[in-house]
Structure formats: C-alpha cells, structure tokens
Amino acid sequence: MKQMKPKGRYNIKVAEKHGVHVERYDNFNKIQHTELDDFLALVRKTAARDGFHAHPKSYYTLLLEHFSENNMASLFLAKHKGTVIAGIIVIYFGDTAFYYYGASDHAHRKFMAPYLIQWEAVREAKRRGLKTYDFFGIAPENSKNHPWQTVTDFKKKFGGEVIEFPQAFDIVFQPGWYKLYALKQ
C-alpha cells in the first residue's frame, strides 16, 4: 500500500467504509453460474458505457474452466448490500497475476468498489507468493485523448512501475487470406 498514490488508498478506505466486500472464486466447478451471470451483466454495462466489445458468455466460461483447472484463475466480485457492483478476472501465470477483465456498475461508483476489488486481487497475488501484479495495459504517455486514459488514471493510483513493450504487429505471408481475416475483425 505504500507504493500507492494517496487517492488510491483513500478510495479503498471509502469502499470499506461503505460496507463493500469482495468475494473470490477460484474453482470454476464451484462457481455458481449466477456469479458468472452477475459478472457478465456488469461487463455488458461497462462495454456499452465505455464503447468496447464484450465477449459472449461461452468465452468467459471457457476461459475460467481452462485456467481454474490448475488454480490459475480467480473471479472476484465486489458486493454492496448483496448487489454485485464490480467484478474482475485475474489469471495467474509464472510469478505474475494478470488483471485480465474487469467491469463495474457506474450507478454505484460512489462506493469505489473497483479500488477495493483490485486491492484484494493484489493481496491474493501476494498470498500466492507471486512477485508481480500486472494491470495489463495503459494509454501511452502524453496521450490525453486516448480511449484508455480514464482506466490508465485508475491503474496508476496503485503505484508501481510502467513497463513498455514493443507494439504488436502482423507479418503477412498470404495477403489474400489476410484481407479476409481483417474483414472478419
């Protein structure tokens, strides 16, 4: 917590003060489909609000089934008075926990659940003996109008260090097939 920005620590305390609590589900076989449905409802709300694509339920089901077999995934849900108001999926690989997917209900934003849920995920990574918690992407430096800027501001409140990797690109060996592939995207 020492590495966090003061506002990040404050927002965690706000969530706790409002009675937000976080539940973690590690074994997909034990996850009730109502929990996954609650998460998916939040994903759809967040996607509509922030203009990104939400995967179908089968995608998240397969992801959790596959990674939870070896205790490599957790679904975290933040609740306020029994209502799910935020959720994340974290994947564990090697010595790193990856914040893979997240969603929150904008109507409950005053409860600061996304801060508490991330903090609980960081604590779980520490309990597992992992060395790194990867927030999985931020906007490039000095990109004030970048679509990820709001989420970048959120992630940076947790402190840590920014590590840059080269941008991804495609090497095209068969241009005709690639054009068909690109049309489908």
The model's confidence at residue 107, banded by pLDDT at 50, 70 and 90, is very high
Better-predicted residue by pLDDT, 29 or 80: 80
Distance CA 17, CA 14 (A): 5
pLDDT score for 137: 87
Give the helix/strand (H/E) hosting 86.
strand 83-93
Give the helix/strand (H/E) hosting 50.
helix 33-50
pLDDT score for 43: 96
The model's confidence at residue 22, banded by pLDDT at 50, 70 and 90, is very high
pLDDT score for 27: 78
pLDDT score for 31: 60
On whether the CB atoms of residues 158 and 135 are closer than 8 A, the answer is yes
- Average pLDDT in the 71-81 region? 96
Better-predicted residue by pLDDT, 139 or 91: 91
Q: What is the pLDDT of residues 113-153, one digit of tens each?
A: 999 999 999 999 999 999 999 998 888 888 888 888 888 89
Question: Among residues 58, 57, 124, 43, which one has the least CA distance to residue 91?
Answer: 124
**Residue 110 has which token pair?**
């005053």
What's the whole-number average pLDDT of the chain?
A: 92
- Average pLDDT in the 173-179 region? 93
Distance CA 46, CA 5 (A): 25
- Average pLDDT in the 32-50 region? 90
- Average pLDDT in the 45-54 region? 89
pLDDT score for 26: 87
